Structure 1
C-alpha cells in the first residue's frame, strides 16, 4: 500500500518542522530576527511569518484581528483553555479572557499564547464590566433550555463569546449577564461536547458570518 504524502500542516515523523537557515543574502527588513535567519525557524507559524521577530508577528496580527473576543470560565482549572487559545489565534480573535483562576494549562495552546492577547478577570462581574466598557455584546454558549441554535442565530459583529468550563458549563451569573445564549445542535447520546470543540465551532460560525475570507492565509 502506498503511503500518502505528508500535508503542509501535518507533523510528519521524517521531516523536521519549519525551515532551516536563510539561504542567500539576508533581508534588511527590521521585522526579521537575525537568530532565526542564522539558525532556522522551527516555530508553528504560517509561512508569511517565517523568520519574523515575535513582536513583529504580534504587531501584524493586531492589524488583522477580528472584532470578536472569547472568554472561558476557569473556576476549576479547566484543561480546555489551551485549546481555546490556540483556536482563537487561528481565527484571529481580538483577545481571550480567562475568568476565575489566573493559572491555566498552556500545553494545549502549542505556544500560540505568545501571539494571542490573553487577559484575566477575577470573576464574571469584572468580565461583564469589561464587555460593557468596550461595547461588546455578550453571547453565552450553553445547551440549556431556552438557548437559541447557533446554526440559525446571527452573531453580532462586535461580541464576546462566553464559554463555561468542562462539566458544569456556564455559571448562572454568566447566563444571566449575556444578551443571548446559543447552543450547538447535537444528534448523539452525549449531553454535551468538549468545551474546546464547542469554542471552535462558535468561533467559526462568527468567521462565516463576518470575516473577509479573501484575507485568510
Structure 2
C-alpha cells in the first residue's frame, strides 16, 4: 500500500472545545490519500497531544479518520456527530414510500443528511437498500411507518404540512410554490410515483418542471431538487459548512 500524502490548503478544522475546556487543542493533520481513500491520519504528537474533548473518538485519534464526514466532525465519535447534527437540523422532514424496495432511498437519505433534514421517514417496507446512503444513515435520524396513515398521524401531531412531490395534474409548480417551513416532503417510488393514499394525505402536491422527453425524474434527483428548494427559501446560509 502506498501513502501519497498531499498537503491540503483547507486543512481539517478542529471542533470548538467542550464548554469549560482549557485545552488549546493543537492543529490536526492535513488530509492525505491512501489507495484512493481521502482522510486524515492519526492525531500528530501521540496520545500526549490528544484533545481532551469527550466528543473525540480514541480509536480515530490513534488510527486516523477516513469517514465521509466534513472536516468539522473529524475524529468525533459517531454518537457525538449525530447529537450535534440534531441541534443543527432544519424544520423539514423527508418521507419516501418503500413498496418496491426502491434503490433510490439510500440516495434520499444521503441528500437529507447533506441538507440537515430533521428526519427521514421510510413508509411501507421496513427494509431498504442502504448502499446509496454512504453510511449517512448512522448519523441521520431515520424513522419507519407501516403506512401513509401512520406518517400522516406523525405529521399532524407535530404540526407538519405534508407536501407531496409528484408530476400529477393539478400539482403546483415547485418553482413558484411557497413551501411551508414546517413540513414533510413526501416522495413516491421510482416509476409509479406516489400511491393514491399518499396523494390523498397530502396538504399540497408540487411538481418539478421538465422540458425534455422523459416522463419522470429519478426519485433521488427529485428529492434533492425539492430539498434544495426548501433550503433556498428557509435556511440560514450563514450556518452552512
TM range, normalised to the smaller chain?
A: over 0.9
Q: For 1:14 and 1:187, locate their aligned partners in 2 and report how far apart those are by CA, in whole Å.
A: 42
Task: List alignment gaps of at least 5 residues for structure 1.
Answer: 1-5
Deviations 1:111-148 (CA, angstroms, capped at 9, x unpaired): 00000000000111111011101110000000000000
Equivalent residue for 2:89, pick from 65, 73, 86: 65
Offset, 1:53: 0.4
Q: For 2:97 and 2:37, locate their aligned partners in 1 and report how far apart those are by CA, in whole Å.
A: 37
Provide the residue aligned with 2:41 in structure 1: 20
Offset, 1:15: 4.7
Which structure has the higher relative contact order (CA within 8 Å, separation 6+)?
Answer: 1
Q: For 2:138 and 2:120, locate their aligned partners in 1 and report how far apart those are by CA, in whole Å.
A: 12
* 1:187-206 pair list within 5 angstroms: 187-206=211-230
Offset, 1:16: 3.1
Provide the residue aligned with 1:84 in structure 2: 108
Provide the residue aligned with 1:48 in structure 2: 72
**Higher-Rg member (1/2):** 2
Provide the residue aligned with 1:176 in structure 2: 200
Provide the residue aligned with 2:152 in structure 1: 128
Equivalent residue for 1:36, pick from 53, 60, 64: 60
Classify the secondary structure of the residue corresponding to 1:174.
helix
Query: 1:207–1:20: structure 2 CA closer, same or farther, 3 Å change rule?
Result: same
Q: For 2:102 and 2:96, locate their aligned partners in 1 and report how far apart those are by CA, in whole Å.
A: 9
Q: In the alignment, does 2:139 pair up with 1:115?
A: yes
Structure-1-length-normalised TM-score:
0.93
Equivalent residue for 2:171, pick from 141, 144, 147: 147
Q: How many residues align?
A: 209
Classify the secondary structure of the residue corresponding to 2:175.
helix
Offset, 1:54: 0.5
Provide the residue aligned with 1:163 in structure 2: 187
Deviations 1:3-48 (CA, angstroms, capped at 9, x unpaired): xxx998xxx8865311000013110000000000000001000000
Q: For 2:174 and 2:114, locate their aligned partners in 1 and report how far apart those are by CA, in whole Å.
A: 20
Task: List alignment gaps of at least 5 residues for structure 2.
Answer: 1-7, 11-32
Offset, 1:72: 0.2
Cα RMSD after superposing both structures: 1.6
Structure-2-length-normalised TM-score:
0.84
Deviations 1:167-206 (CA, angstroms, capped at 9, x unpaired): 1100111111111000000000001000000000000000
Classify the secondary structure of the residue corresponding to 1:152.
coil
Classify the secondary structure of the residue corresponding to 2:150.
helix
Q: In the alignment, does 2:135 pair up with 1:98?
A: no
Q: For 2:183 and 2:87, locate their aligned partners in 1 and report how far apart those are by CA, in whole Å.
A: 18
